[in-house]
Structure 1
Amino acid sequence: MSISNEALQKLVQEIETQAIQAQQQINTVKSQIALKQREIRMLQLTSSEVATLPADTPVYEGIGKMFVFSPTAEVDKRLTAETSELKSDVENLGKKLQYLETTYKNSREHIDQIFKSGGRS
């Protein structure tokens, strides 16, 4: 049983569209991962700097256009919480990236398979 050229062309276009969308999403997810990893690094550097301060050192955090006094322990606790949240986000983005890469690979393989078979099913 052979597929008509028109149906075959439509199928290839749909698969190609899916592959292109997956590739675009892969690029987006990779940039999101890089951004979150950069934020994690900044938080870790800030946390290490705060850890070197004596316990009675006044620490101020920027909130909008003002600075508010925060105890060193609270600042460190907040930094740790934000870091763990970002690490969780990176892990989830990694899973999404793996799914998108698999989708892209499968789309490419389907297109190759269609061309190799010459449209025969």
Structure 2
Amino acid sequence: MSISNEALQKLVQEIETQAILAQQQINVVKTQISVKQREIRMLQLTSSEVSSLPSEVNVYEGVGKMFVFSPIAEVDKRLTAETSELKSDVENLGKKLQYLETTHKNSREHIDQIFKSGGRA
């Protein structure tokens, strides 16, 4: 049984669209991972700087256009929480990236199979 040229063309076009969308989403996810990893690094550097300060030093955090006194323990706690949240986000984005890469690979394989079979189903 063979598929008509019109149906075959439509099928290839749909699979190609899916592959293109997956590739675009892969690029977006890679960028998001990169941004979050940069944020994690900045938080870790800030945390190491704050932890190296003596306990009697006053620490201030920016809130809008002003600075508010915050105890070092609270600042460190906030930095740790933000870091763990970002690490969780990176892990989830990694899973999404793996899914998208698999989708893209499968789409390409299906297109190759269609061309190799010459349109026979």
TM-score (norm 1): 1.00
Tell me, in whole angstroms, the C-alpha distance in 2 between the residues paired with 1:106 and 1:56.
59
- Are residues 1:3 and 2:6 paired? no
Amino acid at match of 2:56: D
Tell me, in whole angstroms, the C-alpha distance in 1 between the residues paired with 2:64 and 2:93.
29
Q: CA deviation at 1:61?
A: 0.2
Tell me, in whole angstroms, the C-alpha distance in 1 between the residues paired with 2:56 and 2:101.
50
Residue in 2 that maps onto 1:93: 93
Structure 1 unaligned regions, length at least 5:
none
Q: CA deviation at 1:56?
A: 1.1
Amino acid at match of 2:109: E
1:15-70 Cα shifts (integer Å, max 9, x gaps): 00000000000000000000000000000000000000001110000011110000
- Are residues 1:65 and 2:65 paired? yes
- Are residues 1:76 and 2:76 paired? yes
Residue in 2 that maps onto 1:112: 112
Structure 2 unaligned regions, length at least 5:
none
Residue in 2 that maps onto 1:43: 43
Tell me, in whole angstroms, the C-alpha distance in 2 between the residues paired with 1:96 and 1:6.
34
**Runs of 4+ with deviation above 6 angstroms:** none
Tell me, in whole angstroms, the C-alpha distance in 1 between the residues paired with 2:6 and 2:63.
60
Tell me, in whole angstroms, the C-alpha distance in 1 between the residues paired with 2:35 and 2:19.
24
Q: Percent identity?
A: 88
